[in-house]
């Protein structure tokens, strides 16, 4: 009884002390901002303590040493709930000065709450291509003001393991140049007991999703943009139908890793490819699952790359699919120090900071002044020689781009619930949705 | 007796106030929001019943209802199994308390964590299939997570039955311990078999606990499954494990169609309300008995 | 013959129980083994014991992931939350269970009704309310929301318990002229110790694992809980299974310890509570 009373007293004391503690830390943070510009950054990448956080810490320090008046408070937020938090901040009309966005639709939704940057970036606008700036402008319209500074260029393509190609009697220096060669290569690999395509299909079937982005680049080329306006469509396009049939064929012939259906793409499938468990992998160009990771694992000269699979029905050849801005930073309208905030963003997007960003994280920077050859990976220089074709995924609504398309891919190719015609119909539905929203 | 009303109201005041502000208001605000188009920020526009019209034409909505109903079919099993095991444990076998403790472990780890573990367990090349192959049951080593019907039923079995077993055992053991021991003695004298004793003595004696557990099961499947499904299968493959609750998340926090998400939520609200009415009926009966 | 029959029955029981125990233990075992492997080893050895055990994953989680900080936050926040939770559940449970007042039953039912709603449905509105009340980024706000959300279940358990406490105890106290509050503090709290331990365990477990509310209400780094820390660690592209396992183990450390520590009391609680009814 007595002991219990003591316990209760201690617990009751906890309550006020807790309140004081949480309030006290808040006060000290406010006091620090006095006289100086304290810039708060939110992003969904800072939580990656191995790959990204060390680089960002270094860049923050660099920017602070170059701009003595600025203090940077970098806050990582969980990726899964990120936009929920940003919306909550918008509703409250207060929050971080700088916010990281995924390029495209997700960023456009916030155009009303991010500042127009044109006057701030005028001096160094030429360092980044207008292709990227247009994408980062209000609603993706090049004539409208820029609202985001791009930090990465994202893209997709097919990596292959040269040693395994050799083992299967294929020429490791020659990537399959068309569908017939590609299928023949798969057949040879399969005969040699090698998994032709390492796939990650559990949860979200990204391997198929990314492959389609490569196909669509070849089918529509420069006209991809018109998929958003209704001038081009999936429905009624013979080449698009053919691409779906090709994917079906890859499954029916067993070229896609049979274990792929229960392997998550991030990171299991990528780890499998890096460990030499299969010959080809549909990967990314920036951030993760890309040239740097694979070259580190399989040797600088051990990895080959080709951007897409050419097939006769497609109008174009060898198109490289890409997103002009994978991620980027925007400055929020409520920021009390937009100048200082823009200095921080600039620190990330160009010069020494940008070089650090690219060198340490394996991100591809859209900044032309950063010397890619310096990184010591000849493969990436080869990839970047080609101009990019816009990724059709960036034209879709958020929920279609980041969920529904993967679900349709799963239904059509993993679980075989829907026919190819139905797959084309629902894919066309996504284009219609995007048009309706405009 | 008469003077207690004032004190009583004061005692339930903290709970009532909290519920009013943090639960009742949000629930009502949600129903209100279902008549608006709102992207989660900025201004909301009133659109009347348009969200409801969209919903009833939405294929995904009906799929999610169907999936939710399939999951609800696992309730009988989710109720029977813990009762059976509790009855076994109650026999006072040696080391029964250790069993009970072990069975409770998944509950401690929490739904998010169990979802992650389950998604690894059921992979084609995962632990479960390895075990099945090792004991000669190759035929059962299926690709659990990529056959839609199988994934949904796996979800029902894992979430609806197995995961709630531990808590169920503790709950029913507590209930069973109040059964009059003389009932068992009488059954023994009659020479009744274990199975008959279970049906004729154990189950009727804990009837009210079972009824409460059934209601709780409905709640858990309708309104608490999201963290598990999200980590287990993300509603996939395709829309195979896409439930009503998952749809609310998807519309609300992926598409950010907050008004439309509220429309889905209102449906869940109605279903929950119906179940709550059942619960109320149960409680009334229960209290009459008391 | 009856001896043989009993033996077979017992054997069958042991087999059934053993199977379920294995099924419950295996996930924990799997996570433990996986957390000690390096990613490179895990690619080739998914199931067996680690060949070269490594603590790299735990280093990643605790040192690099800043998990210690979040852990301490949780350890400070949750006991405080529990005090409020217990206070609310015990007072309300006592009132519903043993006192008589107008509208007692309808009020009790409405509490149970409000237990049903999913977090998802509430979280947006709760954030708006907390913002208006200036409770965002304070522990007080989160605690109040937690208690509101988890309270009904705890109240239900306390109510059913108090409903079984013999009326004579109350009556004799009343004859002594003890007031309701004194009665609650000196008689009803001590008497309910076993049940209180159960709701402490249930409460800790639910608060420890809670994510949607804490995510929206605690947005600054220095306030974060361990469950939030875990969510952050996943980053944009998820984690390797090995690191994931280490973080799973780390995050469930406290609930596990709590359970092992209170194992006996939980048992006693569930019994004495029911025996009296």
Which among C207, C91, C93 is positioned nearest to C145, based on CA atoms? C207
Same domain, A287 and A163: yes
> CA nearest C66 in A: which residue?
A49
- Which chains have 3+ CB pairs within 8 A of C? A, B
Contacts of A108 (CB under 8 A, 6+ apart): A138, A139, A140
**How would you write C214-231 as a 3-class SS string?**
HHHHCCCHHHCCHHHHHH
Chain B segment 2-41 residues within 8 A of C by beta carbon are 4-5, 7-9, 11-12, 14-16, 18-19, 21-27, 29-30, 40
Rounded to an integer, what distance in angstroms lies between the CA atom of residue A217 and that of residue A397? 19
Looking up tokens 């007042």 gives: C101
Stretch A99-105: mean pLDDT, rounded? 90
Contact B117 C208 (CB under 8 A): no
Q: Is A422 touching B (CB cutoff 8 A)?
A: no
Which site among B174, B194, B202 would you substitute to test the C interface, given the most C Cβ atoms closer than 10 Å to its Cβ?
A: B174
Rounded to an integer, what distance in angstroms lies between the CA atom of residue A350 and that of residue A312? 41
Query: Sorting pLDDT into bands at 50, 70 and 90, what band is C97?
Result: confident
Contact C236 A45 (CB under 8 A): yes
Rounded to an integer, what distance in angstroms lies between the CA atom of residue A385 and that of residue A403? 31
Chain A segment 222-281 residues within 8 A of B by beta carbon are 258-259, 261-263
Looking up tokens 């609680």 gives: C269
Chain B residues in contact with A84 by the CB 8 A cut-off are 40, 253
Which among A300, A208, A122, B127 is positioned nearest to C27, based on CA atoms? B127
How many beta-carbon pairs below 8 A join chains A and C? 112
Same domain, A411 and A291: yes
Query: Sorting pLDDT into bands at 50, 70 and 90, what band is A431?
Result: very high
CA-based angle A16:A17:A21, to the nearest 5?
120
Task: Evaluate the omega torsion of the peptide bond into residue B237 and state whether it is cis, within 30 degrees of 0.
Answer: yes
- The per-residue pLDDT for range C115-169, each reduced to its tens digit, is 877 787 788 789 889 988 988 888 999 999 999 999 998 898 888 778 777 778 8
Which site among A259, A264, A415, A419 would you substitute to test the B interface, given the most B Cβ atoms closer than 10 Å to its Cβ?
A: A415
Contact A85 C216 (CB under 8 A): yes
Chain A residues in contact with B144 by the CB 8 A cut-off are 262
Rounded to an integer, what distance in angstroms lies between the CA atom of residue A340 and that of residue A298? 43
Contact A87 B40 (CB under 8 A): yes
Q: Is C59 touching B (CB cutoff 8 A)?
A: no
Rounded to an integer, what distance in angstroms lies between the CA atom of residue A207 and that of residue B41? 34
| Other Cβ atoms within 10 Å of B161 Cβ, number | 20
Rounded to an integer, what distance in angstroms lies between the CA atom of residue B241 and that of residue B148? 8
Contact C43 A272 (CB under 8 A): yes
Contact A25 C222 (CB under 8 A): yes
Burial of C51 (0-12, 13-18, 19+ CB in 10 A): exposed
The CATH number given to whatever domain includes residue A195 is: 3.40.190.10
Stretch B135-150: mean pLDDT, rounded? 87
Q: Is C188 touching A (CB cutoff 8 A)?
A: no
Task: Give whole-number Cα distances, A334 to A39, A92, C161, in Å.
Answer: 12, 10, 53
What pLDDT was estimated at residue A250? 94
Is a pLDDT exceeding 50 seen at residue B279? Answer: yes
Same domain, A315 and A340: no
Helix (H) or strand (E) run with residue B149 in it: helix B148-155
What pLDDT was estimated at residue C276? 34
Strands in A165-217 per DSSP E: 197-198
Which site among A78, A267, A293 would you substitute to test the C interface, given the most C Cβ atoms closer than 10 Å to its Cβ?
A: A78
Same domain, A278 and A342: no
Please state which of the four CATH numbers 3.40.50.150, 1.20.140.150, 1.10.3720.10, 3.40.50.2000 is assigned to the domain occupying C59-276.
1.10.3720.10
Rounded to an integer, what distance in angstroms lies between the CA atom of residue C188 and that of residue C181? 10
What pLDDT was estimated at residue A131? 86
> CA nearest C164 in B: which residue?
B290
Contact B238 A408 (CB under 8 A): yes
Structure tokens, A203: 């949860």
Which among C152, C19, C266, C25 is positioned nearest to B167, based on CA atoms? C266
Contact B18 C87 (CB under 8 A): no
Rounded to an integer, what distance in angstroms lies between the CA atom of residue C143 and that of residue C151? 11
Chain B residues in contact with A415 by the CB 8 A cut-off are 146-148, 237-238, 240
Contact A87 B41 (CB under 8 A): yes
Contact B145 A202 (CB under 8 A): yes
Same domain, A288 and A432: yes
Residue A20 belongs to some domain of the structure? no
Contact B287 C105 (CB under 8 A): yes
Same domain, A204 and A126: no
Domain boundaries, chain C: 59-276
Rounded to an integer, what distance in angstroms lies between the CA atom of residue A26 and that of residue A73? 13
The number of angstroms, rounded, from the C-alpha of C94 to the middle of its chain's C-alpha atoms is: 21
Stretch A377-401: mean pLDDT, rounded? 87
Report which DSSP code applies to C188.
I
Residue A366 belongs to some domain of the structure? no
Burial of C15 (0-12, 13-18, 19+ CB in 10 A): exposed
Task: Give whole-number Cα distances, A381 to A274, A297, A327, in Å.
Answer: 20, 18, 21
Q: Report the range of poorest mean pLDDT among A15-19, A300-304, C190-194.
A: A15-19
Contact C139 A18 (CB under 8 A): yes
Among C94, C102, C205, whose Cβ lies nearest the Cβ of B108?
Answer: C205
Which among B60, B155, C236 is positioned nearest to A411, based on CA atoms? B60
Stretch C197-226: mean pLDDT, rounded? 85
Report which DSSP code applies to A198.
E
Query: Sorting pLDDT into bands at 50, 70 and 90, what band is B69?
Result: very high
Q: Is A333 touching B (CB cutoff 8 A)?
A: no
Phi and psi angles of residue A74, each rounded to the nearest 5 degrees, phi first: -95, 120
Contact C115 B219 (CB under 8 A): yes
Q: At what angle do helices B111-121 and C193-209 cross, to 10 degrees?
A: 60
Helix (H, G, I), strand (E, B) or coil at B138: helix
Q: Is B209 touching A (CB cutoff 8 A)?
A: no
Among B123, B144, B236, whose Cβ lies nearest the Cβ of A407?
Answer: B236
Is a pLDDT exceeding 80 seen at residue C274? Answer: no
Among B125, B240, B254, whose Cβ lies nearest the Cβ of A399?
Answer: B254
Q: Is A337 touching B (CB cutoff 8 A)?
A: no
Query: Sorting pLDDT into bands at 50, 70 and 90, what band is A33?
Result: very low
Rounded to an integer, what distance in angstroms lies between the CA atom of residue A169 and that of residue C218? 58
Is a pLDDT exceeding 90 seen at residue A163? Answer: yes
Q: Which of A151-160, B103-112, C176-185 has the highest mean pLDDT?
A: A151-160
* Summary mean pLDDT of chain A: 88
Query: Sorting pLDDT into bands at 50, 70 and 90, what band is B207?
Result: confident
What pLDDT was estimated at residue B240? 92
Contact C232 A78 (CB under 8 A): yes
Same domain, A223 and A284: yes
How is domain B45-289 classified at the architecture level of CATH? Orthogonal Bundle (1.10)
**Full domain range(s) for residue A89:** 35-153+324-349
Among C66, C127, C235, whose Cβ lies nearest the Cβ of A79?
Answer: C235
Q: How far is the alpha carbon of C99 from chain A, nearest alpha carbon, in Å?
A: 24
Q: Which of A277-291, B118-132, C6-20 has the highest mean pLDDT?
A: A277-291
Structure tokens, A297: 């694992």
Phi and psi angles of residue B104, each rounded to the nearest 5 degrees, phi first: -80, -15
Q: Which residues pair with B190 in a beta bridge?
A: none
What pLDDT was estimated at residue A215? 94
- Region of residue B267 (phi > 0: left; psi between -120 and 50: alpha; otherwise: beta): alpha
Query: Sorting pLDDT into bands at 50, 70 and 90, what band is A184?
Result: very high
Structure tokens, C241: 């299974």
Task: Give whole-number Cα distances, A78 to A109, A289, C120, in Å.
Answer: 20, 20, 17
- The per-residue pLDDT for range C228-254, each reduced to its tens digit, is 888 777 777 777 788 888 888 888 888
Among C76, C79, C235, whose Cβ lies nearest the Cβ of A45?
Answer: C235
The number of angstroms, rounded, from the C-alpha of A134 to the middle of its chain's C-alpha atoms is: 18
Structure tokens, B169: 């055992």
Domain boundaries, chain B: 45-289
- The per-residue pLDDT for range A111-122, each reduced to its tens digit, is 999 999 999 999
Same domain, A301 and A188: yes
Structure tokens, A215: 């196909």
**Considering Cα of A262, then B141, then B122, then B160, what sign does the dihedral take?**
positive
């Amino acid at each position: 009884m007595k002991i219990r009373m003591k316990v209760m007293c201690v617990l009751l004391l906890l309550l006020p002390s807790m309140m004081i503690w949480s309030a006290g830390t808040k006060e000290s943070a406010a006091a620090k901002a006095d006289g100086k510009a304290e810039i708060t950054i939110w992003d969904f990448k800072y939580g990656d303590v191995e790959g990204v956080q060390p680089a960002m810490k270094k860049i923050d320090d660099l920017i602070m040493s170059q701009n003595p008046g600025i203090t940077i408070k970098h806050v990582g937020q969980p990726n899964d709930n990120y936009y929920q938090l940003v919306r909550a901040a918008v509703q409250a009309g207060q929050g971080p000065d700088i916010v990281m966005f995924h390029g495209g639709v997700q960023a456009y939704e916030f155009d009303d709450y991010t500042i127009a940057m044109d006057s701030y970036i005028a001096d160094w606008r030429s360092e980044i291509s207008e292709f990227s700036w247009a994408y980062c402008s209000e609603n993706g319209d090049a004539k409208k003001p820029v609202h985001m500074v791009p930090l990465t260029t994202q893209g997709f393509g097919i990596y292959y393991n040269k040693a395994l190609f050799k083992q299967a009697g294929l020429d490791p220096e020659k990537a399959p140049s068309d569908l017939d060669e590609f299928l023949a290569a798969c057949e040879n690999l399969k005969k040699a007991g090698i998994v032709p395509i390492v796939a990650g299909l559990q949860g979200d079937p990204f391997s198929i999703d990314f492959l389609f982005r490569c196909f669509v680049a070849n089918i529509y080329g420069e006209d991809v943009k018109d998929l958003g306006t209704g001038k081009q469509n999936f429905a009624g396009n013979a080449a698009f139908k053919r691409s779906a049939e090709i994917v079906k064929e890859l499954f029916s012939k067993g070229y896609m890793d049979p274990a792929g259906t229960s392997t998550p793409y991030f990171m299991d499938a990528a780890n499998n490819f890096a460990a030499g468990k299969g010959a080809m992998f549909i990967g990314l160009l920036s951030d993760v699952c890309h040239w740097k990771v694979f070259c580190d694992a399989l040797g600088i000269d051990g990895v080959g790359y080709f951007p897409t699979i050419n097939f006769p029905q497609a109008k174009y050849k060898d198109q490289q699919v890409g997103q002009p801005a994978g991620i980027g930073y925007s400055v929020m309208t409520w920021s009390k120090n937009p100048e200082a905030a823009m200095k921080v963003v600039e620190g990330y997007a160009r010069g020494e900071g940008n070089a650090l960003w690219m060198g340490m994280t394996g991100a591809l920077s859209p900044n032309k002044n950063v010397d890619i050859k310096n990184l010591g990976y000849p493969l990436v220089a080869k990839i970047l020689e080609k101009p990019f074709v816009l990724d059709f995924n960036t034209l879709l609504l958020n929920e279609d781009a980041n969920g529904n398309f993967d679900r349709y891919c799963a239904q059509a190719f993993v679980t075989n619930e829907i026919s190819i015609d139905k797959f084309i119909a629902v894919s066309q539905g996504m284009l219609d949705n995007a048009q309706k929203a405009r | 007796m008469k003077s207690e009303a004032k004190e009583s109201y004061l005692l339930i005041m903290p709970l009532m106030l909290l519920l009013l502000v943090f639960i009742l208001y949000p629930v009502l605000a949600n129903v209100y929001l279902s008549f608006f188009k709102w992207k989660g920020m900025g201004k909301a526009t009133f659109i009347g019943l348009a969200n409801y019209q969209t919903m009833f034409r939405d294929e995904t909505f009906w799929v999610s209802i169907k999936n939710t109903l399939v999951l609800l079919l696992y309730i009988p099993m989710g109720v029977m199994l813990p009762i059976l095991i509790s009855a076994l444990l109650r026999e006072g076998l040696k080391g029964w308390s250790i069993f009970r403790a072990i069975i409770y472990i998944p509950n401690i780890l929490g739904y998010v964590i169990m979802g992650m573990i389950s998604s690894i367990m059921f992979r084609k090349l995962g632990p479960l299939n390895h075990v099945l192959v090792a004991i000669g049951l190759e035929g059962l080593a299926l690709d659990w997570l990529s056959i839609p019907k199988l994934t949904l039923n796996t979800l029902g079995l894992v979430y609806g039955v197995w995961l709630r077993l531990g808590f169920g055992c503790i709950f029913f053991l507590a209930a069973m311990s109040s059964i009059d021991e003389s009932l068992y003695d009488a059954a023994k004298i009659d020479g009744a078999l274990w199975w008959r004793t279970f049906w004729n003595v154990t189950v009727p004696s804990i009837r009210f606990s079972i009824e409460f557990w059934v209601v709780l099961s409905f709640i858990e499947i309708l309104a608490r499954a999201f963290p598990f499904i999200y980590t287990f299968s993300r509603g996939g493959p395709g829309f195979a494990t896409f439930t009503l609750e998952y749809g609310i998340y998807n519309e609300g926090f992926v598409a950010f169609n907050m008004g439309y998400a509220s429309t889905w939520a209102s449906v869940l609200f109605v279903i929950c309300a119906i179940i709550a009415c059942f619960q109320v009926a149960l409680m009334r009966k229960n209290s009459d008995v008391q | 013959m009856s001896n043989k029959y009993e033996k077979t029955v017992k054997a069958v029981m042991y087999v059934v129980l053993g199977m379920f125990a294995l099924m419950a233990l295996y996930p924990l075992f799997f996570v433990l083994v996986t957390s000690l492997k390096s990613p490179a080893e895990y690619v080739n050895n998914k199931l067996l014991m680690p060949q070269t055990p490594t603590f790299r994953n735990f280093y990643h989680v605790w040192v690099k992931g800043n998990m210690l900080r979040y852990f301490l936050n949780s350890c400070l926040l949750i006991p405080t939350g529990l005090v409020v939770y217990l206070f609310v559940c015990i007072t309300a449970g006592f009132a519903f269970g043993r006192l008589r007042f107008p509208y007692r039953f309808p009020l009790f039912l409405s509490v149970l009704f409000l237990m049903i709603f999913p977090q998802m449905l509430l979280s947006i509105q709760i954030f708006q309310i907390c913002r208006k009340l200036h409770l965002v980024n304070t522990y007080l706000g989160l605690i109040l929301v937690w208690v509101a959300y988890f309270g009904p279940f705890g109240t239900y358990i306390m109510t059913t318990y108090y409903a079984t406490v013999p009326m004579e105890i109350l009556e004799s106290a009343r004859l002594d002229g003890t007031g309701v509050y004194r009665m609650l503090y000196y008689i009803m709290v001590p008497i309910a110790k076993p049940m209180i331990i159960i709701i402490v365990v249930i409460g800790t477990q639910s608060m420890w694992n809670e994510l949607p509310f804490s995510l929206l209400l605690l947005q600054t780094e220095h306030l974060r809980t361990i469950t939030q820390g875990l969510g952050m660690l996943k980053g944009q592209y998820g984690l390797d299974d090995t690191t994931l396992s280490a973080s799973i183990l780390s995050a469930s450390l406290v609930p596990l310890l709590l359970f092992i520590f209170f194992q006996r009391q939980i048992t006693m609680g569930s019994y004495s509570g029911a025996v009296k009814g």
